Amino acid sequence: MNQTYQLPKVSSGISGLDEILEGGFPKNRTCIINGGPGCGKTNFSMEFIYDGAKNGEPGIFISFEETVSALRQNALTIGFDLEPLEKEGKLILLDNPLSPEVIVAGKINLEGLRVIIDNMATRHGIKRVVFDALDVLLNFFDSNEERKEIFLFQKLFRKHGITAIFTTKPVTPDAFATYEFMDSLVDCVIYLDQRVVNQITTLILRVKKYRGSRFGRNECPYTIGVGGINIIPISTLGLRHKPLGSYVSSGLQDLDKVLGGGYRRASSVLIAGVTGTGKTSLAATFACSVCEKGENLLYISFEESQDAMVNNMLSPGIDLRHAQESGRFHYISGLPESLGSEEHLLRAFREIENFKPEHVVIDAISACHRMGSERASFDFLVRILNICKDRGITCIMLNQTVSPSSIQELSGIEISSVIDAVISLHYVEVSGEINRTLICIKSRGSRHSNQYREYLITDNGITLLPVYTGVNKMLTGTARHIQEEKDRAAQIQLEQKIETKEYELKVLKSAQEELKKSYATRAIMRGDLKNPLLYE
């Protein structure tokens, strides 16, 4: 059987991009990154050059818009220090290599630039080249000359085994392609775009073309920050989910019984209820339990700061301070509207990658609507669930519902189908007071209880009460205590009646015995009976 040829590739050095490109940029070939101002074209190409220089592939970065000093300063803002690599001869920066005299005279000739690249490639072993803002240069040529110059540069790159990236800008904000012939000349074309939805800007990447290779065709959001570009590919999500693992205690033995053994590792758990039902208390109880056992838990909060949350949990006797001090409990917080859903997702993704938790808590997913739109919140939750499932992480999600008894709005963001376990918390009003109950609606892979359980939030944590079966309906709080007292009184009366009946039977039996003996005695005296035992 013929073996399929695999196109040689080089790593982009950009988090998530190699996964989209199924290995990286095509080796010894040319690529285009096209996008408008602010999309990060320079950052993409600089990270490609920087990563190669650090890993044994020297590169040249040629900018037709910025000075070398500006390139160095801008690189430092995302954590890339270029000067040490420059001093080692692994990275070369050039800015506007064409003299102003040549441009003014209109006699544009790029042969000198090719000679410079040729000499540097020979001397330094250059393997990567970036032409940043190539469109600025090509504006000086007519269409025939443009093609000729690109062909000549590609010939030079092939000679030295160089992988090259050209960055360009679209002609108009609504059109990607600057020069249509360029897309056909190069082997890989990537489009970058900015979109504003509900006043929140989202950066989007799409691979339009990759000659000789498969690639992810979906649009993928990305962010630019310290450490460079971060992308979480959509095309590969949900393909490598870990199966549900062993049971891990919720921190409450009685709740573990309700769930059929506890939470399953690598599962997604939804705890839903109206405000004040104890969702955070349940999550904090779980956090204390797993951290005490030496496991890491990441707590992502959209509701309150770490100090406020830890201090509030002291009231019901749940002390997270030891978990904090041990380094097992890591907390990140931020208002949903402070960032777009992609930035929130990538922030969480970085924390997961760095902290490597066994468990993640999101408090609360109902706040995710404020990230920009319902679609944005849905994408955020589905993708973070997939990240957790892919890594075998247990994910506990809290959701604040509106209706105190609505099961239909448990997730609120249409994600119930991908949830493995659902705990619904409720208020019950009986005899002028409000009490709390919970029920396990779903626990995939476990035989869970289908009964409502009353629970109390006390000074010593959460306590689940035994299932009450004294009447045909569920009673809670004072009504339950009153009914239990009535049941106990009825039980005592019943026991007393039984004791009275038993005593009466005993007296009756004793009288019968005496009567038998009396009959036997009189019979013997008359001589009718020789053996009194016959009357026994």
Q: What is the pLDDT of residue 475?
A: 59
What pLDDT is stored for residue 104 in this prediction? Answer: 46
Q: Mark which of 189, 204, 231 sits at the end of a domain.
A: 231
Is residue 2, in this structure, part of any structural domain at all?
no
Does the pLDDT value for residue 336 go beyond 70?
Answer: yes
Q: Are residues 218 and 262 in the same domain?
A: no
Whether 1 is in a domain gets the answer no
Q: Which of 199, 231, 263 is the last residue of a domain?
A: 231
18 with 88, same domain: the answer is: yes
Asked if 220 and 90 sit in the same domain, the reply is: yes
Q: Quick one: 18 and 140 in the same domain?
A: yes
Side-chain-side CA neighbours of 51 within 13 Å: the count stands at 18
Domain boundary among 467, 496, 512: 467
Mean pLDDT value across the chain:
84
Residue 428 has pLDDT above 90, yes or no: no
| Domain membership flag for residue 210 | yes
Q: Is residue 242 part of a domain?
A: no
102 domain-assigned: yes
**CB contact at 8 A, 169 and 204:** no
- In terms of residue numbers, what domain contains 504? 480-535
Q: Out of 364-373, 465-474, 496-505, 523-532, which region has the weakest mean confidence (pLDDT)?
A: 523-532
Q: Are strands 200-210 and 394-400 parallel, antiparallel or unpaired?
A: unpaired
Same domain, yes or no: 100 and 200: yes
Percent of the chain with pLDDT over 70: 83
**What was the pLDDT predicted at 108?**
64
- Residue 140, domain member (yes or no): yes
> What is the residue whose two structure tokens read 């006699």?
107
- Average pLDDT of the residues in 434-450: 89
- Let me know whether 484 and 512 are in one domain: yes
Is the same domain home to 35 and 168? yes
> pLDDT band at 227, cuts 50/70/90?
confident
Are 499 and 364 in a shared domain? no
Structural domains of the chain, count: 3
- Checking if the pLDDT of 225 tops 70, the result is yes
Same domain flag for 337 and 310 = yes
CA neighbor of 340 nearest in space, from 203, 162, 517: 203
Q: Are residues 70 and 212 in the same domain?
A: yes
Q: Which of 344-353, 426-435, 438-447, 473-482 is the least confident region? A: 473-482
183-194 b/e with 16+ CB inside 10 Å = b?
A: bebbbbbbbbbe
Same domain as 188, residue 122: yes
Whether residues 117 and 254 fall in one domain: no
Kindly state the percentage of the chain with pLDDT values over 90: 49
Residue for token pair 């982009």: 12
HEC profile for 286-337?
Answer: HHHHHHHCCCCEEEEECCCCHHHHHHHHCCCCCCCHHHHHHCCEEEEECCHH
pLDDT at 525 over 60: yes
Domain holding 446: CATH number?
Answer: 3.40.50.300
